[in-house]
Chain A
Amino acid sequence: SQTIHQWPATLVQPVGSPLSLECTVEGTSNPNLYWYRQAAGRGLQLLFYSVGIGQISSEVPQNLSASRPQDRQFILSSKKLLLSDSGFYLCAWSASGGKNIQYFGAGTRLSVL
């Protein structure tokens, strides 16, 4: 069966520091991969999605970037964090084509101080 791993679960970082959040998927090949951010008490905002290795699309201009160095690995990065980058970050995958049901990781709570 397919599983998705996301880490770390919690992160506290100072303003101006770099960021790297990692997500890996097991049990499937060529998944679509997604990074979302959820502000407190809000819905999900799509940040990036990827349909293949090295293929990244950005939904919202921001201080963040994403990379997909391997088929089942998706990384969210920042060179210098801002206070506004605080939030709950969720990685998700879906099978290529079909219903596009997205399955989520456990999430990372990022606090930028």
Chain B
Amino acid sequence: AQKITQTQPGMFVQEKEAVTLDCTYDTSDPSYGLFWYKQPSSGEMIFLIYQGSYDQQNATEGRYSLNFQKARKSANLVISASQLGDSAMYFCAMRDLSGGYQKVTFGIGTKLQVIP
């Protein structure tokens, strides 16, 4: 089974609107971490937000929030008040114990386009 699943190859959102990017994960490790990264066309991977499996509250960082639903194994990224500069690829990732060490696995990404 895929460890990280991002089912939306591409998404469009109107400027100033909110958008949700979906991510589901699969792990049997009770202690894990979830991340979202942004990759603009320049290629650099930019860390956005982190959620630990034991964190009681959803993580927030400015306009980014992570909708963590543990029972459903989902970790959706919500971007509020979209800006043109938000247009990029977005990757969900998970850290868990794999092969004897803490490994980070990335999804295949979602391309977000913000429309003026």
The chain A residues found within 8 Å of chain B, CB to CB, are 42-44, 46, 57, 88, 90, 92, 99-107, 109
| Number of residues from B at the complex interface, CB < 8 A | 21
> Which among B46, B91, B102 is the interface contact of A100 at CB below 8 angstroms?
B102
Contacts of B42 in A (CB 8 A): 106
B43 touches A107 (CB 8 A): yes
Instruction: List 20 A-B pairs, Cβ < 8 Å.
Output: A42-B108, A42-B109, A44-B91, A44-B106, A46-B104, A57-B101, A99-B33, A100-B33, A100-B102, A100-B104, A101-B33, A101-B35, A102-B47, A103-B47, A104-B44, A104-B46, A106-B43, A106-B44, A107-B43, A109-B43
> Which among B46, B50, B107, B108 is the interface contact of A99 at CB below 8 angstroms?
B50
For the complex, what is the distance from the CA of A107 to the CA of B89, rounded to whole Å? 15
Tell me the interface secondary structure of chain B in the complex.
strand
Give A42 Cβ to nearest chain B Cβ, in Å.
6
Contacts of B103 in A (CB 8 A): 46
B52 touches A99 (CB 8 A): yes
For the complex, what is the distance from the CA of A105 to the CA of B43, rounded to whole Å? 9
A43 touches B108 (CB 8 A): yes
Contacts of A104 in B (CB 8 A): 37, 44-47
Q: Mark B77-108, 1 if CB is under 8 A from A, else 0.
A: 00000000000000100010000011110111
